[in-house]
Structure 1
């Protein structure tokens, strides 16, 4: 089945990782692919050492995509495509979390068609979670679960920076 956690609000990744923990608790194997992230959040640091959970990411940058120059953007796109290739060639997982894949699609780093093909091929045999902002209507139609996180209030709006252990 396919899950989509999207929107402007906090908690999309944390919700997806909660499912990975639940699956691992029942001895199910889960792959967490973090797109556009460097693997340094508290949850990922913890989950890297857990059995039944594999974490992968390819993001050698300490800035957001929109802050990159053209050379960095090219390297970033290649890195995200390499991670996608790892995901699509991986076997033996009961659950696959595609963290921030919606943003990768929106930035046209990986085509929507490739993602749809992967989802259709794996829909009946795996739990697949997509996170990010602004899912395409075709993804929303295909999914079995859709949860929208809406930001009503956030410290970032008051120029309070992200806090270690809370936002990452």
Structure 2
């Protein structure tokens, strides 16, 4: 049986889709390069597929939450994410929080970013050292799912809501 795609997992979520990000930089794509050069754009217009996916999911009653563990002062890439969050993630319906890395030291965290769907499946995102995505890994083992659920909850509890977070 083929593995469901990310979009299929997202659209089939019944109550929650939680994302934990722990890197200070991801693939430095053309959008990031434009932003770095001073060109500002409306992220909702740039990525309408994400706005549609999240907003339709939230409309079904699914909680979509994203937590980012970040080094401070923020890297240029994380500042880019921060500046686009309100017009992209929050506008689409995500609840986003930020956790300064120094406040995460006592937490047990998995080694990779992940999406957790309905506390039943984890989709790990694998990255190369330069931030390019190298693949995904779907895991349904309940021990691993439980670890990720616990980790996300612990991060979420300590993290600062996007509207209140003021990066250094």
TM-score normalised to structure 1 length: 0.32
- Per the normalisation by structure 2, the TM-score is 0.32
More strand by share: 2
